[in-house]
């Protein structure tokens, strides 16, 4: 099987695209319910999938990533995994600790994007569609099966019609909060870059505004200008999908791996903690310290100290003191005093 493909990337793409085509075949009842108006979104999604695989495989080939993924899979079925998954992927508890403002903006953007994808992708690939009957009811079809019938002017139909409008409003509010913080917060202003920090927000804002404009034109302008705006909206989504795997928004599809990292830290911290060779402070698990030293040696990076231990066996404050001592010639590592902001929360 492996010899049939030029690389792991090619193999992964072939299997994934083939699987999607099979699902489209089943969901559209042998390609009889494909909406050609959504064809551009489908092409953009395939390019997006290729970018995600390329980014993930390039990242997964690194020695530290291999260790991280291997041990993360091994610890995936811990009893605490469901709770960790909810905290990291559902409620964003780790951001709540940084402040309610940042939590609100992340929650609105994160869930606005996720819910939009959960609505859009099934429609794009034909996994879900609606059929209209003459008696004033819609039939919701999923993977070729009639799931439910809803009244055209009923409350469920209202939410079905406006699901993407609700998520667009969520994203707009979250993006505006993020832009305000980036313009007013001094630390954020010092660290931000236009391409990396602002462009993703502008893309999400543009998609949401053009999406709401489509509804406005249909409801209040009786469809006038709908075709032009639909093309603008479609191209904005396609450009964002192509850009997404290679920019800051890439952390959205990669976010589930944070559960691996949390399990790794929690499990091995309970096994044994590593004490700093300089100040005897417990700063990381023994397993993680050993993994870091192993990866450094694998990459032929020598951080062995003349004192007889590796730089990775020092806590971060002592590590900084040793680096300063090397550059300045002053024995700063012998100063037994903690940094003023050592335990600061950021």
Please give the radius of gyration of the chain, using alpha carbons only, rounded to the nearest integer. 25
Token pair 């200008």 is found at 225
Least Cα distance to 256 among 85, 50, 130, 142 occurs for 85
Distance in Å from the first CA to the final CA of the chain? 48
Distance, in Å, from the CA atom of 291 to the CA atom of 306, rounded to the nearest integer, reads 21
Q: Considering only CA atoms, which of 204, 112, 130 is closest in space to residue 166?
A: 112
The whole-angstrom separation of Cα 51 and Cα 243 is: 9
Domains of the chain by range and CATH? Answer: 2-258 (1.20.950), 272-334 (no CATH)
Q: Which residue in 268, 309, 271 sits closest to 291, CA to CA?
A: 268
Residue 299: pLDDT band with limits 50, 70, 90: confident
What digits encode the pLDDT tens for the residues 52-76? 888 888 888 888 888 888 888 888 8
Output the CA–CA distances (angstroms, integers) from residue 197 to 94, 248, 249, 287, in the order listed. Answer: 21, 7, 9, 34
Structural contact between residues 218 and 226, judged by C-beta atoms closer than 8 angstroms? yes
Predicted confidence (pLDDT) per residue in 129-145, tens digit: 888 777 778 888 888 78
- Tokens at 80, concatenated: 């605490």
For residue 228, pLDDT beyond 60 = yes
pTM: 0.80
- Which parts of the chain are beta strand (E)? 128-132, 137-142, 145-151, 273-275, 282-285
pLDDT of residue 344: 44
Residue 74 contacts residue 267 (beta carbons within 8 Å): no
Contact 129, 34 (CB under 8 A): no
Antiparallel, parallel or unpaired: β 145-151 and 273-275: unpaired
pLDDT of res. 331: 65
Max mean pLDDT range (34-48, 232-246, 249-263): 232-246
Per-residue pLDDT, averaged over 284-288, amounts to 89
| pLDDT exceeds cutoff 80 at 23 | yes
Average pLDDT of the chain is: 85
Asked if pLDDT for residue 345 goes beyond 50, the answer is no
Between CA 127 and CA 121 the distance in angstroms is 8
- Whether residue 339 is predicted with pLDDT greater than 60 in this model: the reply is no
Instruction: Give CA–CA dist 85/162, Å, rounded.
Output: 29
């Amino acid at each position: 099987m492996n010899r049939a493909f030029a690389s792991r990337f090619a193999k992964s793409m072939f299997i994934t695209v083939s699987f999607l085509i099979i699902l489209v075949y089943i969901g559209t009842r042998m390609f009889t319910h494909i909406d050609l108006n959504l064809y551009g979104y489908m092409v953009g999604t395939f390019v997006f999938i290729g970018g995600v695989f390329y980014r993930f495989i390039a990242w997964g080939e690194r020695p530290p990533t291999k260790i991280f993924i291997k041990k993360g899979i091994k610890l995936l079925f811990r009893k605490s995994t469901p709770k960790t998954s909810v905290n990291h992927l559902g409620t964003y508890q780790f951001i709540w600790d940084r402040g309610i403002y940042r939590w609100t903006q992340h929650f609105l953007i994160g869930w606005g994007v996720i819910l939009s994808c959960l609505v859009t992708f099934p429609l794009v690939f034909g996994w879900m569609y609606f059929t209209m009957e003459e008696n004033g009811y819609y039939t919701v079809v999923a993977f070729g099966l009639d799931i439910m019938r809803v009244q055209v002017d009923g409350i469920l139909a209202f939410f079905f019609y406006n699901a993407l409008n609700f998520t667009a409003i969520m994203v707009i509010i979250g993006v505006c909060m993020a832009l305000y913080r980036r313009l007013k917060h001094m630390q954020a202003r010092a660290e931000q870059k236009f391409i990396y920090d602002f462009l993703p927000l502008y893309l999400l804002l543009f998609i949401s505004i053009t999406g709401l404009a489509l509804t406005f034109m249909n409801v209040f302008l009786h469809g006038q200008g709908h075709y032009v705006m639909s093309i603008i909206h479609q191209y904005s989504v396609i450009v964002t999908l192509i850009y997404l795997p290679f920019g800051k928004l890439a952390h959205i599809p990669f976010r589930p791996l944070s559960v691996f990292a949390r399990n790794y830290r929690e499990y091995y911290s309970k096994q044994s903690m590593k004490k700093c060779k300089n100040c005897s402070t417990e700063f990381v698990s023994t397993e993680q310290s050993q993994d870091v030293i192993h990866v450094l040696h694998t990459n032929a990076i020598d951080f062995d100290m003349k004192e007889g231990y590796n730089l990775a066996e020092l806590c971060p404050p002592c590590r900084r003191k040793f680096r300063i001592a090397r550059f300045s010639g002053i024995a700063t590592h012998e100063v037994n005093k903690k940094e003023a902001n050592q335990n600061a929360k950021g």
